[in-house]
Amino acid sequence: MAALRGLRRMLCVLPLSVLAACNGVGKGDKVDHLQMFTQVGQNVELLAANSDLPSFQCLRQQLGIYAVFGRNGIADYTFRPATIWTSNRPEIVSVSNGNEPDPAHPDRVFPKGVITPHAEGSAIITANYVGIETRISVTVTEPDSIILSTSPYDTTADASKAGTLSIATGSSQQYFAYAKLKDKHGVTSYQNVTGNAVWSIVGDFNGDYATVTNPVVGTTLGGGLVVGNTPSGALTVNANFPACPNSQFVDVMSQVQVVPVQSLMVQHDPNFLAITNPGFVFTLPPAAPSIPPNPPNPLVLNTSEAFVVTARLTNGDYQDLSQQSVLTTETSTSGVLAFASNIGKAVAVGSTKVTASFTGRGITTLSPPLVVQTQSATMSNYVIALDDQNQSIPIQGFHQYRAQARFLPDVAPGMPQTPFIQDLTQNTNWRSSSPSDVTIGDIGTGVLVGVAVSQRSVETCLNISGTFVGDPTGDTNYLTSLGVGVGVTPTGCSAP
């Protein structure tokens, strides 16, 4: 019996291919079965065995497997040496075992589980770990379209049809690639495929005029950030999809030019102005920005405003540089506002002058000063803006939510108190009850604060809520919420 126990111990130090005989993996627990999954960006979706996964030419995709143990949970076995991936029709869909070369980068290979759709049709993808298998069917079709956009959430704004975009010397512009996809049931969806592309500036490979970033090696994260180096004529930004050399979408292009800054202007948050000046229409680049009046009600203590910085370029075009400029206050009143990027928070009662500066390739441009006043006030009736209630977000679309509240200014005894409304979008912690259906930008995400974006091609109901941060009265329990319909009218779409 002692000899048998010794033999069993010897067997258990053999390679993984025989570990199944040891009746255990890891902490004495054997693999019961495998669960395949697909990962797009940060989203992981479990795939039932023998299910059919839609796939699209030009778009490689990461598959993986979880080992499900009899007692002790799961573990990611995608990249284990003993995990073997195979395709029964590699001419339709090939799958990497960690040895498939990347044609765009000859010095690297694709990780295990990465599938490359080559042609329309179907194939069976199998993952085998020491004799335990799971498989799915992959059906390949061509995307309806792939476009370039300069919006982080508008998947239909085609930059290639918008003419040549002007950017300031030394500034950056993020491009996104979006694919319009249709599954076998005719359901249309949009997918961010920025990280699937190899990006370049056509004819400017040394980056004399502009450079563009590529995804982090071995991932589909990043890419598409154009930086203007020196003034230029029209340049071609190219997103190449090496997975489909024979497709109409192998190269997707847009035009950009680099232009010096002529002048800079800092303005108040258009949401503030819309509340206090109903007839005022704020325009963003490429149109010439309006010159707004100052809001009649100063910024309330402990609340924030998103200032807008706009550059006029020497060719007459405009660029929003709010996220790329530095905003400062005059030294003598520096304690009135505190800035984080373009978000100014009132930290003391008073008046100050705000100046924006932008430095591009060693040349700094300053804006004329903007007078900003602050005040102490008491808040009540904090709500999601009336125009944003009972909204229906389009499927795979977006909506900008705003929060606002009624205030009474703190005045000397006997003086009249005139109530006013102030935008509080930048002071709101935004939440979605179902982030897998709809995400919403929260504090710290800059221009995305309050932007709700539909993530899936389904109709659903959910809840959007906002909690105030920085209450000047010391009461931080203000909460507002509402039911939202995605792809359906909100009537009867109560909050879950």
For a pLDDT cut of 90, what percent of the chain falls above it?
44
351 band by pLDDT with thresholds 50, 70 and 90? very high
Burial (CB count <10 Å: 0-12, 13-18, 19+), residue 246: exposed
Within a domain: 491 = no
Q: pLDDT of 2-11, one tens digit each?
A: 332 232 223 2
Count of domains observed in the chain: 4
Least-confidence region, from 7-11, 196-200, 301-305, 417-421: 7-11
pLDDT of residue 200: 95
Within a domain: 385 = yes
- In the predicted model, what is the mean pLDDT of the chain? 83
Least-confidence region, from 162-171, 323-332, 383-392, 470-479: 470-479
Phi, psi of 151 (to 5 degrees): -105, 135
pLDDT of residue 338: 94
Query: For residue 218, how far is the Cα from the chain centroid?
Result: 20
pLDDT of residue 25: 43
Do residue 368 and residue 382 come from a single domain?
A: no
Do residue 131 and residue 20 come from a single domain?
A: yes
pLDDT of residue 10: 30
- Is the pLDDT at 282 greater than 60? The verdict is no
Within a domain: 166 = yes
Within a domain: 188 = yes
Domain span including residue 31: 2-141
- Is the pLDDT at 17 greater than 60? The verdict is no
CB 115 within 8 A of CB 55: yes
Within a domain: 98 = yes
pLDDT of residue 24: 38
pLDDT of residue 492: 60
Residue 298: which CATH number?
A: 2.60.40
Do residue 337 and residue 207 come from a single domain?
A: no
Q: pLDDT of 31-42, one tens digit each?
A: 889 999 998 766
Tell me the mean pLDDT in the region 243-256: 88
Question: Where among 108, 141, 174 does a domain terminate?
Answer: 141
For a pLDDT cut of 70, what percent of the chain falls above it?
83
Q: Going by C-beta distance under 8 Å and a sequence separation of 6 or more, which residues neighbour residue 43?
A: 436, 455
Q: Could you give the 3-state DSSP secondary structure of residue 451?
A: strand
Can you list the alpha helix ranges (DSSP code H) found in 67-174?
none
Query: For residue 391, how far is the Cα from the chain centroid?
Result: 22
Within a domain: 492 = no
Do residue 95 and residue 13 come from a single domain?
A: yes
Do residue 87 and residue 213 come from a single domain?
A: no
Length of the chain in terms of residues written = 496
**Cα angle vertex 67, ends 63, 69, to 5°?**
160
pLDDT of residue 292: 58
Do residue 112 and residue 20 come from a single domain?
A: yes
Within a domain: 31 = yes
Do residue 271 and residue 181 come from a single domain?
A: no
Do residue 172 and residue 123 come from a single domain?
A: no
Do residue 216 and residue 249 come from a single domain?
A: yes
Least-confidence region, from 4-13, 266-275, 373-382, 439-448: 4-13
Which contiguous run of DSSP H or E holds residue 200? Answer: strand 198-201
Neighbours of 115 (CB within 10 A): 26
Do residue 297 and residue 406 come from a single domain?
A: no
CB 421 within 8 A of CB 405: yes
Do residue 154 and residue 106 come from a single domain?
A: no
Do residue 135 and residue 151 come from a single domain?
A: no
pTM value? Answer: 0.81
390 band by pLDDT with thresholds 50, 70 and 90? confident
- Is the pLDDT at 494 greater than 60? The verdict is no
pLDDT of residue 165: 94
CB 130 within 8 A of CB 164: no
Within a domain: 224 = yes
- Highest average pLDDT, of 181-185, 289-293, 335-339, 399-403, comes from 335-339
Which contiguous run of DSSP H or E holds residue 275? Answer: helix 270-276
442 band by pLDDT with thresholds 50, 70 and 90? confident
Residue 210: which CATH number?
A: 2.60.40.1080
Q: pLDDT of 82-109, one tens digit each?
A: 999 999 999 999 999 988 887 767 778 8
Which contiguous run of DSSP H or E holds residue 191? Answer: strand 188-192
Question: Where among 225, 259, 293 does a domain terminate?
Answer: 259
160 band by pLDDT with thresholds 50, 70 and 90? confident
Question: Where among 111, 141, 171 does a domain terminate?
Answer: 141
pLDDT of residue 218: 66
